[in-house]
Structure 1
């Protein structure tokens, strides 16, 4: 996976979504999908511990995820799959690494899925058709349920040879999820009961195919360890109900503390989980209030669709919560080629002075050393050095920024968010604008300017007095490109943070303010002024409007002014309405009587006056216009 620089047409490329210019997931059949996305490997010398512990060891030590692993009952070899040839070659270099007192040996295996599938089904296109028909036959659209229970006992699938061996069986669910994603079913519930599952590796892509899943049944499988749910941690963020009964995990509990530990672990894995095996674990209303990201002012928000809204708001709320509490926990979202940069814009003009003793957000001593403002930093070397790449550099940059508090959950009206799909990377782009309060100086002040010189410096006196940089409020703009990672995890490919002086929120509150001003103006309309409904025809008998064709006192050849309005009209209208009335008469050439009717029927809205006038021009009588 490689992300290339920002600006000037730079883009991002990664193996999840791009392979030599071709989309890995845009294949014609399941065979090519499996071949291009799974490289078989074999592991020997792992018997000192369980296969699950060996796979976890490889992930920690070698930084490579081995998927869909299984043990060959005949040879005792631990088999699995990695995503690329580069990962497979790298694993070969790890041969000899010690695990549980023994040396592991890695070799490349042979991918027999394609051959066995072809032999059993006759051709690959028939394989896709069989799986597609199976999915459609198991989908219940009225309740949005995909029933995948006991698939190994389905007569149609077994007759096609999908489960003749461990190798082909381990490949069935990833292929099924891939095809289910292409069908684009509206699924909120999935039943995976009775599938002899010992872990979740073979169905890990469920979180990618159905990220908004709410109900899941894993009943009557062979799940024996609570740690299996680590596969879906931070992925199924909308899961509400989980069924686990009938698994060794639930059947072999020996004490109430074991039951409580299981509940705690599943709640930690799924933040919105409410019910487990029919038992309510949390207060749903209180949980929704805690996790909700309720924007009531839609004028300050833009989301491409409801799915993007759910993904973006959930991601941002959790991201900023960790940013304020523990930035180290954010590192799981960044990979070796993720990028972060920060810049300061001190020229922003809309500064609000809160009071004489408070900092208005104009001290940037903690930020300037790492600012990548391209209008100020002209050196190519400096520009490159101020882009943090990879977890280590990004965390160092994070630790050099002050500790903060964002009130996005308690005061969402102070923020503006926009998010839309980023199809080039199969991800989303999120932009958020708002403000934060600086709470404390950075944890890491290495290389930062942490004080402000206050005294003169010359050849006779090189010592200056310094004062600590004050903390205060600042505004920010942040843009994140979020893409899918291994096993459905979310990865921040690009992170751009702009810091500026604290400013008002008028940029996204102007529509709301304009509406309030219009309502206030309407409330100022005297009650004795008649306001006929928009559909009512013009009336010549208004008690407050003299039946005149023009405005007395107007200078011929010149437009009338407010001073030319009759006294009785002035007495019935406030100054704002008087100005609007004169403007409409000048622009439309209507008489005073018809001009006033037009304004009243348009509710004293200028734009609506123009629209109504254009719509009714053809039906107006000649006497409606001033001579």
Structure 2
């Protein structure tokens, strides 16, 4: 039979039916998606955003429970850390599009982040893994210390954190990949009350990497607990068996620190002498000492080297004042030279008013000395690199530094202005097996302003070898080590031979019965010659004692006890003084 042309074949009929059904379904779908704008417009608005979204997995941050926890910082951080749960957001979700299209200022974006990370009940701010935070990703922010950051992110975060109520006491910056502490430089400014800080699992590798928040300017004065576990700096120190050194270095930088990496730091304190009534009565009954049992003696120089020492110093200071380049031959090729500008006015000089009474003292300025390469270790803040750079080695480096120092004039015609001590060291690894050590204290005039400064200088000398530049220049010795301290003028009274007067407090006790009653003038306190009292101490310890005494008002004896009890660490000694000053007796302070 022949089929009618108007009747489709069965296969064609099924195909036509399928197309008709699909058209109806497509139309229904379009009706469901009807919006104020057409479906084509909606797709066009979603398409660009889908390209901008780096990670379509939107993360929801859950607030911490807020329960207060006890124990170490690490346990508190572990219990208070914000949990992150994932919820996949469909690409093109209108809520995501709305969030991304908002144009709030950058600081408001960071404010949203800071608030979401703060637990006010525990006063804990969790700033760990900032780059992985959903809010940071949503606003396409760059975390502090990361490539592309401007350096303003961390100050902004800390400033916003400082506005939180109550103010945070604990902050975690763990797992942020920090290679330097520069992002923490403003932490002390905005959050001075921080007690606990975690920098766990970052990339701090050297001591220089923590200088930004451990220097005098940026130091966290109230920091109680610090965590550095997982940083190369700590791990390398422990791998090489230098755990004690690591702890000591951190404690020195943070005097208030009590817990480091979960371990308690042993505190070294000096015992403040307490005087009972019985002891005070017994002391009052004793005769009052007016002078030290041993007087001040002239400088000590062995007879066999007196001529050598005199000739060396006379010639050296003459060249130092007139032609420093001529000193090049006397420094051995491996010689070292360093100088320190001590800008603190000595206590005795303050009492005597030397800075105010001498005509040109106010014209003096330490700027040129500091610029020339001063190695004042109290200024470099524990930075090993800076300390090593200021240790000048070899004839060339030493010559450059000597030329950069201000011009001087040593008046050697006044022997009373100087004191010299010398000794020989036998069996030393030097030509002839002997070394000569010379220590000089004195004064010089800074030529530019005609102001007077005091100085301390130590030399280590060895015999010059045959044919050496020193011998060819007529020097019988070479300098192996030269150390110079330049300071404010403090007069040569400290080494004037005679009885050593000590500080005393005049009493109003009546004279003994055997004396004829008469009107006597009231004795005045005698200023302590600080350098003479401390003459037995090494130079750097003497400077520390005078520094503590000047800052705290302690008499020399108590300032020395404070430093000795704190391992001669200036930072610890000053912090310890603040803790116990209310318990110290009145005689501990200079009047």
Query: TM-score normalized by structure 1?
Result: 0.30
Query: TM-score normalized by structure 2?
Result: 0.32
Question: Which structure is larger by alpha-carbon Rg, 1 or 2?
Answer: 2
